[in-house]
Structure 1
């Protein structure tokens, strides 16, 4: 197995206090119904479509599905928006998702309920610092996670999601590539362990997944010995080691449908529980425990920036056109290239074709 180099990188402090303070109040049942009706009306009038991440409020997930939009992960949201005929995309999620949608749909208007809704992985990987990190390792192929800014994606050779990272890094390893990875240290470590790739890791983490704790998970498993454990690979290695299935949000949803079990312990953002419980009302889904009062960041297994998205915010941007996402025009083609490379790779794999020339050095075998 090749070695992994872990590099400590000075990162800005990540506080969630401001984000939690910006979480909108829950509307009353009557206001909720009125908001949904008005938003649906404006989506039609503005030639707009709502795309929502699995981690946002159930109201937004339900509304996206009810109005012909989509609930999915970040790349599927962007790809859906690119292929949809609507001229305006309303992205309920965090800022890098809006940027990715704009990168793939530069001629469309992309709006977000709150432009301050961001991601600890994104803000923990500043573009200038990342450029300096790359300069220290000029011989490595740069692979970045989707949870990064457009300016970081523009510096990458490949963009990956948690559902395709293993396949892509494995193919790069087979072709003799040495990898520079950013920003999530847990996902990067998982990929390195599984593929044996030679990797240098940026030391970022997700404030939600980083708080899952192995000791508390072991205790919950003893309480529910029949439970299957589903873990997102942004979680610490000791939590991943206890998983029956390690995978992305969509892979966790698939496992819940396919595994012959009635009880599941789920280690990812609690926003996914809405889809899991909605799709499988006969099954019991338990949130994996976090560090509770001992947490370094009060996550409660839910992203505070995702929680900033609400019905009132969606209505406001549809009424006013505020909170439009802009990406510097010179960044768009550079950031789109590694995304399109990933999409071509995953499409080839889905068709059962070898990646061939998509991975330099791998050849057609």
Structure 2
């Protein structure tokens, strides 16, 4: 389970995570044009996550790239004909793209953009945990390293995790789940499956507070609450809709409410507002600003993606994702199961 060493490792990476600086309008325009030139020259396409900055998401859309959740990103990258994928997100997303498209070059604005779930689930310790439960089917969240995926029977994203575990439970299988304990608990309570859970958490979603949401609802009584299942159980319990980023986006468009309280990374507000310009989106309260708040509703590693770093990567070929062939072969098996699992 999560060791003191792993907790310290997350803190160390947090201390090093330097978000992109604010650009002037002129510099932003100039950098965007340079990125476009490089994409054309190198037959490259941007694959961006909802949690990256609005400027990155907008540029991906303008250049024929893609913005989505990690499952949609994986599918897009695997089928797109570009020879180079520029993955704007965190490192496990780049590794997933490389595993699914080993013949392509996969670049990232920075390889230092990681994830607390990935850092808190080291391959050796996870392998030992699996060995302690040999009768369990190993299901790991996409927010893990290639080495952890290679040890799994299934890889899932939050958009299909519940359905996959329900499918396995219906077959009478016991589940070993890693690494997010909150998502695992939500799935466990929803399916009744026999599950053992790794002790990991997302630093963004773990900070949302049920009391804060309820207090905010008193001010906005008609607001619907949208919650990502990486949040604690107390937060999930006050939600009107619980789901992945893509599922929350869909709910924002389909529900009649004009105001929404959203418990996930605020990077998603760009797409929510774009698709629903007449609606209002409010950040769910966290632990608060200052020393008690490690993320304040925004992943510090996602914030490391920037136009400047994207240019540097494309110009120099730096920050290229490399995954050993033996890991690609092993991790491809559970990832293929994920991609082939029915959407509906």
TM class by shorter-chain length?
Answer: over 0.9
1:94 aligns with 2:90: yes
Listed one character per residue, the Cα deviations across residues 162-217 of structure 1 (whole Å, up to 9, x for unaligned) are 11011110010010100000000000000000000000000100000000011111
1:18 aligns with 2:24: no
Cα distance in 2 for partners of 1:92, 1:41 equals: 17
Instruction: Tell me the CA shift for residue 343 of structure 1.
Output: 1.4
Does the residue aligned with 1:176 lie in a helix, a strand or coil?
A: coil
Structure 2: unaligned runs, 5 residues or longer: none
Deviates most, 216-225 or 140-149: 216-225
Matching residue within 254, 258, 262 for 1:266 = 262
Q: Hey, what does 2:201 align to over in structure 1?
A: 205
Q: Hey, what does 1:306 align to over in structure 2?
A: 302
Q: Hey, what does 1:335 align to over in structure 2?
A: 331
Does the residue aligned with 1:330 lie in a helix, a strand or coil?
A: helix
TM-score, length of structure 2 as denominator length: 0.97
- Quote the RMSD (CA, aligned, Å): 1.3
Cα distance in 1 for partners of 2:133, 2:261 equals: 39
Instruction: Tell me the CA shift for residue 280 of structure 1.
Output: 1.1
| Structure 1 runs, 4 residues or longer, greater than 6 Å off | none
Correspondence list, 1:16-95, <5 A: 17-20=14-17, 22-95=18-91
Instruction: Tell me the CA shift for residue 318 of structure 1.
Output: 1.0
Instruction: Tell me the CA shift for residue 345 of structure 1.
Output: 1.5
1:256 aligns with 2:252: yes
Cα distance in 1 for partners of 2:321, 2:137 equals: 29
Does the residue aligned with 1:331 lie in a helix, a strand or coil?
A: helix
Aligned partners of 1:173 and 1:198 also within 8 Å: yes
Correspondence list, 1:146-165, <5 A: 146-165=142-161
Instruction: Tell me the CA shift for residue 12 of structure 1.
Output: 3.4
Structure 1: unaligned runs, 5 residues or longer: 1-6, 351-365
Cα distance in 2 for partners of 1:330, 1:298 equals: 36
Give the number of aligned pairs. Answer: 341
Cα distance in 1 for partners of 2:289, 2:27 equals: 34
1:242 aligns with 2:238: yes
TM-score, length of structure 1 as denominator length: 0.91
Instruction: Tell me the CA shift for residue 75 of structure 1.
Output: 2.2
